[in-house]
Structure 1
């Protein structure tokens, strides 16, 4: 697909505030302390013998307070994500941190209070029927809280600990400049060159990227050590056996389902290695695929503009439903997207809900079919936010696993459309781009899970050096990619490149695999029985915070505790691998 010149695409945040110096922003910021004081007093006035109606009234006030907090917090974070060099926004984010700490303290006090109540209060009250599950989960979480005094002290310390380290990572990494061919280029743009059609460009950019991470490894390793150390200590103090147990709890997922999924993924590795070797052969490599060619485009010209990606995604969504197609068009027309890399802008892509049903999406658009798939992915998150629009705050607490369902379902729609509409070299290109993404979500995600597991275990003993982080990353890649990648040309600094590691919430990796394989299962059901599917699917998305993952999936006849389900979804991908290998010859 030939690509005309790009035009810049930036999101419009003015429906919320014109800037952090907007008087309306200052007014909201000034109101928040009073709102928090009021809700804190309301919580203090509640008795463990309160009625269901009293609890319902409190939850309504809680909702209004935290919608206000969510608006100003999301807005400020979006401004900083788009430009870490905006000094006014950085000052505003710093000022907001004290309120964030206070809000976190309140949330823990709220959880602690719910933990003192008799669950029969919400189990038997019609007015709390939609709150039954989230209140039960909060009640369960409260068992792992420290004393109120210690939780308040911990929240204060986190402001100067993990929260500060996470912010350092975001600000520092987004400002790394890389020297390439005499020019200073943002690290996000350098990483984007992995998708370039020119082999020399990919290899040169990869070498420059590794050198840049090497030059900046000390502060990044310090951030990783501090965040993982704090999270490990707090998990132990709160009585969790392992950090993985914390994540599984907040994912509304059991260990049996996780193990079944990971075992099925491991069984599929030989198929993924066949794909990687076929791609290596196509690119002229004989010792496996070098990491710098992992994202190399294959086949016909695959250059896409942002505008072409917009059109393709909207058409694909509309073939599924007019509601989804109209939603995509609305997001374009109202400028919900910030498309291209630039200095000071955060790398990667994400979707942020700002107000109920309203989102903004940050991209670092790659001019390939992968860029279109990422657009579909983030729009899936935004559509999920739309489906949650009528839910209250505690009902919207979607676990990470199900948070990736809508995004990858939408991505699957676009992948299948692209593959079905192409032939010859164009089909080879799109099929490979699809496999490329699925390989990341199956194989690379497993490598990230193994890496993070090893880091957490070793961090219990002491801080790790940058070299040790690199060694653990190499080993994780060898254990998953195997001989599909050239063992001499791996990416030991992926720990520095992925923001997900720099969070106290560990293991933000396997939810992507859950999302991919669950979405493939849903898509198969949609193809086999489309009648009534759209309504059932939207209903599922509106209730992702209101039931255990296994219970929600059972509504579609899917048992996630069984390895056979995950293997069935992976079989769809194996068919794609077979087709790709046959086309390569």
Structure 2
């Protein structure tokens, strides 16, 4: 396998030579035209909600034409928008990419409105009869039945169109305000004995500094900064939650949570089972937090100690070595997984170099057919290797979805982490086997730190959002009230694992996930993803060959059934707390090892 020795940039020329090229201009115009023509087709075929549409031969023919065209337009639009976003995220100063994405928004709104019209039209059809009489319908059976249910939660076509247009100046605008305020916020903080005014993102990144005084100073500066910005952020949060409450009620949902569960392809019984197991694990996570405090020489952790480093590693993971290690370890699972990773490195699907203008973080996005692109800011550490493995797991999931239509690929966030957690776990276990004591402590701490965030902190975020939605039905909440709801949720979840006088009342101001009218409760799906992925890894360990026979099929089917149905293929009952307890037992084992190593 050929591996580059310097940090690579991804190759986008396989789609278009450049954004200045004639090929891009033609591709862009083609997508816009395709969306306009699709809208015309919807108009001429009267694709909109009706009382009841007669299921004639002509209606079936229309359905098949519409689904074929809708899938084709979705695919072309996805490739174009992903292409543009890849330029924006690697260079936020790319004015051409920013302009093109802004121009494309009008067409994207049109496409979203067409999706709503399609749902309403499907709601007027006899879906079961349609599935019996049409091959295309049978291939999209889950999507159709889901759309039928969703259609029952639509307002009138005129109201839905108005809500979509108004959202640009309401929910989306409030979300943009949050993004603008938080990204431009600068706060004074003491660094090396001098006061410096730094971006909030830089100050927050000081949470993993080894020096506790630096962490404390950053924490105090951060809280002061959020206090200064709290008025517009509280206004944004109150407005967004108020809008979501109104729309949920108008669409016939009992609550925003009911709508979120529907969109996540799970039910309340599944959520309750998972949260029950999570709450039962809190004493174990507090054991981890107490062990970490002892390792740091503290009686109890403060909030600003959560990300403090424990353990150490002198291992430098150069990029080419990391690539070889990932390919090799993926090969212990299957040649298909390792071959996929080798192809991603060889064909330059990965943009790994941190540089000015590039946004922070990591992600994987499908680009076209069976190709993905992986965005990373690679650091030559275990964390850098783990992140690459995680994102390549997403790419492997995309590979298994590639032969499905766009409507068949629609995967909820609950199932989107299935392959990424699995691949990350392969790398973690392989690294632990080769590590000395201090490296083991460091690796386990990194893993437990993440698990604590996804189980304990996510529960606190869920409780906060649930209570804010309930209170917002009556009136707006003041800044002090938002702070108190946040602190109450943190006390319930972290318990005596943290110093109660040093929590984080402004987490509501920082987390962008709260500031969306499109995706409420952008929290519990993370927990589902982690624990479902760990549960599958446990199944793999018990019977590797049997597991391999069904895993790729599971990944290819995440848009074809609800989570409970897919899990049942592996004999898993996600409505039982026992499954989630078994997943958390893997984490408990890590806590036991961490306690033993840090004594």
Normalising by structure 2, report the TM-score.
Answer: 0.89
> CA 1:373 to 1:398, structure 2 compared with 1: closer, same or farther past 3 Å?
same
Alpha-carbon distance, 1:194 to partner: 2.9
The answer to which of 423-432 and 160-169 deviates more is: 160-169
Aligned counterpart, 1:225: 238
> CA 1:445 to 1:520, structure 2 compared with 1: closer, same or farther past 3 Å?
same
Residue 20 of structure 1 contacts residue 92 of structure 1 at CA under 8 Å; is this kept in 2? no
- For residues 530 and 458 of structure 2, what CA distance do their matches in structure 1 show? 11
Alpha-carbon distance, 1:63 to partner: 1.1
Residue 89 of structure 2 contacts residue 358 of structure 2 at CA under 8 Å; is this kept in 1? yes
> CA 1:13 to 1:164, structure 2 compared with 1: closer, same or farther past 3 Å?
farther
Written as runs of structure 1 = structure 2, the 5 A alignment for 1:201-240 is 201-240=214-253
Alpha-carbon distance, 1:392 to partner: 0.8
Alpha-carbon distance, 1:404 to partner: 1.8
Q: Is 1:100 matched up with 2:108? A: yes
Alpha-carbon distance, 1:570 to partner: 1.0
Q: Is 1:159 matched up with 2:168? A: yes
Residue 10 of structure 2 contacts residue 373 of structure 2 at CA under 8 Å; is this kept in 1? yes
Alpha-carbon distance, 1:33 to partner: 3.7
- For residues 482 and 380 of structure 2, what CA distance do their matches in structure 1 show? 32
Given candidates 331, 338, 341, the residue that maps to 1:318 is 331
- For residues 229 and 126 of structure 2, what CA distance do their matches in structure 1 show? 52
Given candidates 429, 438, 453, the residue that maps to 2:442 is 429
Aligned counterpart, 2:41: 42
Aligned counterpart, 2:140: 131
Aligned counterpart, 1:109: 117
Alpha-carbon distance, 1:433 to partner: 1.5
Residue 412 of structure 2 contacts residue 559 of structure 2 at CA under 8 Å; is this kept in 1? yes
Aligned counterpart, 1:351: 364
Count of paired positions: 579
The answer to which of 488-497 and 45-54 deviates more is: 45-54
The answer to which of 130-139 and 305-314 deviates more is: 305-314
Secondary structure of the structure 2 residue equivalent to 1:144: coil
Residue 101 of structure 1 contacts residue 159 of structure 1 at CA under 8 Å; is this kept in 2? no
Q: Is 1:291 matched up with 2:303? A: yes
> CA 1:349 to 1:98, structure 2 compared with 1: closer, same or farther past 3 Å?
same
Aligned counterpart, 2:291: 278
Q: Is 1:119 matched up with 2:127? A: yes
Given candidates 490, 495, 498, the residue that maps to 1:485 is 498
- For residues 162 and 557 of structure 1, what CA distance do their matches in structure 2 show? 41
Aligned counterpart, 1:540: 554
- For residues 337 and 503 of structure 1, what CA distance do their matches in structure 2 show? 29
Q: Is 1:451 matched up with 2:464? A: yes
> CA 1:524 to 1:324, structure 2 compared with 1: closer, same or farther past 3 Å?
same
Q: Is 1:301 matched up with 2:279? A: no
Alpha-carbon distance, 1:207 to partner: 3.8
- For residues 304 and 6 of structure 2, what CA distance do their matches in structure 1 show? 28
Q: What per-residue deviation string (whole Å, max 9, x for no partner) do you get for residues 9-35 of structure 1? A: 544444334555444333333333431
Aligned counterpart, 1:3: none
Alpha-carbon distance, 1:281 to partner: 1.1
Aligned counterpart, 2:422: 409
> CA 1:61 to 1:194, structure 2 compared with 1: closer, same or farther past 3 Å?
same
Residue 471 of structure 1 contacts residue 492 of structure 1 at CA under 8 Å; is this kept in 2? yes
- For residues 524 and 291 of structure 2, what CA distance do their matches in structure 1 show? 26
Aligned structure 1 segments of 4 or more residues deviating by more than 6 angstroms: none
Q: What per-residue deviation string (whole Å, max 9, x for no partner) do you get for residues 440-497 of structure 1? A: 1111111111121122223333344444433332222111111111222223333333
Given candidates 94, 97, 118, the residue that maps to 1:89 is 97
- For residues 392 and 257 of structure 1, what CA distance do their matches in structure 2 show? 28
Q: Is 1:72 matched up with 2:80? A: yes
- For residues 222 and 318 of structure 2, what CA distance do their matches in structure 1 show? 25
Quote the RMSD (CA, aligned, Å).
2.6
- For residues 347 and 504 of structure 2, what CA distance do their matches in structure 1 show? 39
Residue 317 of structure 2 contacts residue 382 of structure 2 at CA under 8 Å; is this kept in 1? no
Aligned counterpart, 2:49: none
- For residues 110 and 483 of structure 2, what CA distance do their matches in structure 1 show? 37
Residue 317 of structure 2 contacts residue 385 of structure 2 at CA under 8 Å; is this kept in 1? no
> CA 1:345 to 1:161, structure 2 compared with 1: closer, same or farther past 3 Å?
farther
Secondary structure of the structure 2 residue equivalent to 1:558: coil
- For residues 337 and 473 of structure 1, what CA distance do their matches in structure 2 show? 38
The answer to which of 346-355 and 125-134 deviates more is: 346-355
Given candidates 524, 539, 543, the residue that maps to 1:525 is 539
Alpha-carbon distance, 1:111 to partner: 0.5
Secondary structure of the structure 1 residue equivalent to 2:386: helix
Secondary structure of the structure 1 residue equivalent to 2:65: helix
Q: What per-residue deviation string (whole Å, max 9, x for no partner) do you get for residues 155-207 of structure 1? A: 11112222233344445534445555366655444433333444444444444
Secondary structure of the structure 1 residue equivalent to 2:364: strand
Residue 381 of structure 1 contacts residue 406 of structure 1 at CA under 8 Å; is this kept in 2? yes
Alpha-carbon distance, 1:422 to partner: 2.2
- For residues 302 and 262 of structure 1, what CA distance do their matches in structure 2 show? 38
Aligned counterpart, 2:397: 384
Normalising by structure 1, report the TM-score.
Answer: 0.91
Aligned counterpart, 1:512: 526
Written as runs of structure 1 = structure 2, the 5 A alignment for 1:244-263 is 244-263=257-276
Secondary structure of the structure 2 residue equivalent to 1:531: helix
Given candidates 63, 66, 69, the residue that maps to 2:71 is 63
- For residues 184 and 161 of structure 2, what CA distance do their matches in structure 1 show? 33
Aligned counterpart, 2:568: 554
Alpha-carbon distance, 1:126 to partner: 5.8
Alpha-carbon distance, 1:108 to partner: 0.5
- For residues 10 and 190 of structure 1, what CA distance do their matches in structure 2 show? 28
Secondary structure of the structure 2 residue equivalent to 1:353: strand
- For residues 214 and 14 of structure 1, what CA distance do their matches in structure 2 show? 46
Residue 174 of structure 1 contacts residue 345 of structure 1 at CA under 8 Å; is this kept in 2? no
Secondary structure of the structure 1 residue equivalent to 2:408: coil
> CA 1:302 to 1:500, structure 2 compared with 1: closer, same or farther past 3 Å?
farther
Q: Is 1:399 matched up with 2:407? A: no
Q: What per-residue deviation string (whole Å, max 9, x for no partner) do you get for residues 203-228 of structure 1? A: 44444444444444444334333332
> CA 1:484 to 1:77, structure 2 compared with 1: closer, same or farther past 3 Å?
same
Alpha-carbon distance, 1:145 to partner: 0.6
Alpha-carbon distance, 1:36 to partner: 2.1
